[in-house]
Amino acid sequence: MPENLLIFWVIVILCFLQQIAGQAPERKLKTYKGCGGRLDELSGVIQTPNYPESKLEMNKTYPTNSNCTWYRDGGDDATLYTIKFWVMRLESARNPNTNQTICYDYMNITVDSFGTLQFCGFSAPKVTINGVGPSLKLQFISDDSNNYQGMMLMYAVRPDYRPCEREPCKNGGTCEMK
């Protein structure tokens, strides 16, 4: 992807995530660069430790034996979490017997409405991940071999997300948030 097009899409997604979180689009997102911590903003960017900041640093890799956890809690059952991976370069392999992916280094995303999802590999998921619940947990794990650039994702939090109250007759008068 040409660099200008990449920058364009980063800006579009940042504005989208800020809109979901109810922030003005011109507000700069906080970037979490360390190994875990509390997500204190309604939207932000999370990078694995040592994530490259420029083309000159593309050979930087995340540390071995990392166990980083970012979390947000204190919401209620109606808190919507939106997550979009932008870059993913995490160690994985393909099992030749089963053709399944083996994740050696990975990112776990946990939200009450869907449990835990695990991501690894060299291609960022194209889908936007949405989950509802009182808390969000993002955990990056790396083993003691073969480290790569890492990953970058964006998140947004929308407290008091109650789509059923706006459309009480939708779905035959019932509504289930997933």
Q: What angle do CA 57, 63, 64 make, to 5 degrees?
A: 140
| pLDDT tens across the length of the chain (178 residues) | 444 444 445 555 555 555 555 544 455 889 999 999 999 999 999 999 999 988 888 889 999 999 999 999 877 788 999 999 999 999 999 988 998 999 999 999 999 999 999 999 999 999 999 999 999 999 999 999 999 999 999 999 998 887 776 665 665 555 655 5
**What pLDDT is recorded for position 4?**
44
**What pLDDT is recorded for position 15?**
54
Q: Is residue 104 domain-resident? A: yes
Q: Is residue 176 domain-resident? A: no
Whole-number Å distance between alpha carbons of 165 and 146: 49
Q: Is residue 146 domain-resident? A: yes
Q: Is residue 44 domain-resident? A: yes
Residue 80: count of CB within 10 angstroms of its CB:
22
**What pLDDT is recorded for position 77?**
80
- Residues contacting residue 127 through CB under 8 Å, at least 6 positions apart: none
Q: Is residue 71 domain-resident? A: yes
Domain that holds residue 9: 3-165
Q: How far apart are the first and last CA of the chain?
A: 33
Q: Is residue 19 domain-resident? A: yes
Q: Is residue 11 domain-resident? A: yes
Whole-number Å distance between alpha carbons of 4 and 79: 34
Q: Is residue 170 domain-resident? A: no
Please check whether residue 160 is in contact with residue 110, taking contact to mean a CB–CB distance below 8 angstroms: no
Please check whether residue 147 is in contact with residue 105, taking contact to mean a CB–CB distance below 8 angstroms: yes
**What pLDDT is recorded for position 161?**
84
Question: Into how many domains does the chain fold?
Answer: 1
Give the phi and the psi of residue 9 in degrees, each rounded to 5.
-70, -35
Strand-strand pairing, 92-94 and 101-103: antiparallel
> Which CATH number do you get for residue 149?
2.60.120.290
The pair of three-digit structure tokens given for residue 42, joined into one six-digit string: 């309604």
